[in-house]
Amino acid sequence: MNTTVTTLAAAIATATLWLAAPTLAQAGEQQGVQCPAGTEAIVSNGEKRLQCAKTETIEREAVCSPLVFRGNGDINLNTRIEHLVAGRDRCQVVGGNGKTASAAPQFVPLPGDPAAAEFTQIERAGKDVFRATRRVYVFPQGAIFNPLDSAALGVQCPSGYDGDALPNGRGIRCDRQAEERRADCDLPWSLLTDRRGHEDRCVLANQEGETKPVGMTHVQMQVEKALDTISWTVTKRDGGDRWVKKTYAFPTSSR
């Protein structure tokens, strides 16, 4: 058996397989990050920064306490306060002199609540509530961010990376051009410039396939293209195509 012919046939079969193979699906860094459903996406700084904001409704239950009757001075006041819930809630108490006093209920604010003046009393069956809204921020989906960082500051592409808004307008992707190489073919394929319009092609006998960047094999290119962090795309040019390599990274958070 002619081992040279057998080896050459195997090489041709392998090269043909890789030239005909479909592009592998990309994920991860190339997909970028985007804001969760129900939030507003704010893209800024040349599409390098993304903030995810939403309006949150806060409700605090109406309460009656001695604080609403500060001037009474009766140490038994707390035991005689009535919380009247018919219609708009009221607080009522009978003072030591037999007179009835009434006042509007209050609420207990929690850390991070808006100012008390921003709350409005809302009538409800049973006890009323005090309601306000506030703008809150969350981290985008698609990557893991440090929970100790500030979501309000958004996430930003790393230094040296460009930003691109995702087609749906709800996220960004960070990339940079790493290098550019001329189109070439694996042996024993031959490069035919502008074979298909402006596109260069690799030809072997009656077979055709795509080119690859010079200085690497077609297999090596496919391995890199399968990574989340790298892409190779061909730019068709008269007189010789060029392959462009891009690298991708997730945006980062800060505090």
Structure tokens at 207: 């077979």
Nearest to 151 by CA among 136, 138, 170: 138
Distance (Å, whole) CA 255 – CA 245: 33
What does the CA dihedral 105, 108, 113, 114 come to, rounded to 10 degrees? 30
- For residues 155 and 49, the answer to whether their CB atoms sit within 8 Å is yes
Structure confidence by residue, pLDDT tens digits, 28-39: 999 999 999 999
Residue 21 pLDDT exceeds 90: no
CB contact burial 161-191 (16+ within 10 A = b; e otherwise): bebbbbeeebbbbbbeeeeebebbbbeebeb
The closest of 181, 186, 222, 178 to 203, measured between CA atoms, is 186
* Average pLDDT, integer, range 108-122: 94
d(CA 214, CA 18): 16
* Residue ranges covered by each domain of the chain: 3-37+154-249
74 pLDDT band, cuts 50/70/90, is low
The confidence score (pLDDT) of residue 97 equals 66
Give the closest residue to 151 by CA, choosing from 32, 252, 251, 253.
253
**What is the per-residue pLDDT for 94?**
73
Q: Tell if the pTM clears 0.75, that is, is over it.
A: no
Q: What is the pLDDT of residue 102?
A: 87
C-alpha to C-alpha distances, 7 to 2, 3, 152, 188, 219, nearest whole angstrom: 9, 6, 61, 12, 17
Cis peptide before 22 (omega within 30 of 0): no
CA dist., res. 91 & res. 77, Å (int): 12
